[in-house]
Structure 1
Amino acid sequence: MGGNHTQTKFILLGITDSPRLQTPLFVFFLLIYIVTILGNVGIIILVRVSPSLHTPMYFFLTHFAFTDICCSTVISPRMLADLLSEDITISFTGCMMQFLTFAFFASIECHLLAVMAYGRHVAICQPLLYVTIISSRVCWQLIASSYLFAFLTAIICTWCVFGGSFCGPNRINHFFCELFPVLKLVCSNTHSSEMVIFAFITVNAVCASVVIFLSYISILRTVLRMCSAQSRARAFHTCASHLMAVSMYFGTGFFMYLQPPSSHRSLDKVASIFYAVLIPMLNPFIYSLRNREVKRSLVKCGRRIFSCWQHKSFLSSRT
């Protein structure tokens, strides 16, 4: 993939150039990465082993947790290695693949948030038809379409960025191969590429936002018509975790990508850390700590594990 380029390697300038901060940052981000993996893997396992969570909402949540793991894994290990290494170069192919995979999984998350909002809309507004409308076949179709659209978006954006000519400086002012820092190194005319990328990001973000907005407008109207205050509170509580995840993801995403390239400053690194490193860690806590069914399943699994441990301890003490 790509046009004429003379660069075979890029230099990532990283999060900081201060040697004193590198070790503390390494420990901090390593802990975040470990918690991210454990939290999201825990969500996937919990949904798999708990029959009460075998519903479309939690089916989508397992895929969301999987994409969080992938997004974090694309960025964090390389970032951690660079914090302790003197060699902070990345090959042209490695940079392109990092950009492609991160764009792919980040786009999937965008679509999954819309799919999950639609699922909540059907569950609250049409509960009697929920199983019929959101059937197993429909779930897989929604997931497959999310992956397909995300793949097309990632391929086209990667072509627009890496299809140009790289013949100037090779220093990327970022800690990974992010869109605008890489695009600044292209010495050919990037106006058309920027327009195509902006169009695809806008279409993905705006379409997902419209689905989410319309879903929650419909949910709000249905909830306000409910006679029982307890039912209204339960419906709002069910949607709270998803709305929190949507706000964090789209807030940082709009800040990063829906502004002119000339407006990008050093603050972008902070925003990138937030959506590429911190949000994947926070999502499992948001969906577990604010979800009664997940907390109930966690308690049941904990009791089951404790009972098994007690039973094994009793058998071993008798032998």
Structure 2
Amino acid sequence: MIPKVFIDGEAGTTGLQIAARLKARTDIELLSIDEAKRKDIESRAALMNKSDAVILCLPDDAARLAVSLVSNPNTVIIDASTAHRTSAGWVYGFPEMDKGQRRAIAASTRISNPGCYPTGFIALVRPLVVSGLLPNDWPVTVNAVSGYSGGGRAMIAEFEDRQTEDNYRIYALGQAHKHPPEMKKHAGLSHLPMFLPAVGRFAQGMIIEVPLPLWALPKKPKRAAVHKLLESTYAAEPFVRVVPLAEGDAIKTLDAEGCNDTNRLELYVFGTDDQARLVARLDNLGKGASGAAVQNLNIALGLDEGAGLVA
């Protein structure tokens, strides 16, 4: 039988993007709720419990409530909120993070979708920590900029309705943000990274940067060694591209929107033998949200992992 999938929160930014990737597919049946019953708990619970998989596109508290409504032990829940990204009993939905991650996702009924910023950060940092090139207690800094769609409906309206004239602004100035605990845990760090996020006047797309003074690291690795490690880590991954050094060196600037409307994650190692500028580029609504959810759905249901996705 064709698996049934329900998106709880389909009307939101991420939900709409997921639905767009699923509606044309014939290998699943996408269930929908009557608009008038979108907030009716009993109606939502009934749909969730008859589904093979549910994707939650809700605020954190609403996502926790939604999980409590699922009594069917076979229903797979993929949570796109922040609520369960560091929770015990939940598998982190970043298939490329570890050799056994796909198997863990396929075997689980509780999958937390990664955050957009953490996706790029973990992809860059985790292999270095695991290999020992980067000590897990290193004071890591991450600079990043995202399109305004990452802020949800309120921020989208703020920019698109010209409620603000800002072209670029930094935020989370007090170092209080939901992403660092997720970054710390899944990158294998012993301290929270210093996270310096920003938003620009473009709808979607993002760049994440991790500066590394290679000369100061205990093993003093050269830039080529860092690049080779990333290249070997993701060599077989269909959605991750480690850009060759020569190609990266020929680039003078990098546009945050270059991976838009794809599930592609691009990794760069810019710099010199003494200073590396590690960069990840992705679509915050693609590999950073809806694309990742669809990829996890495909894995969890035993379908073609790339179905509905563009590399």
TM-score by length of 1: 0.33
Q: Which has the higher contact order (CA 8 A, sep 6+)?
A: 1
Higher helix share: 1
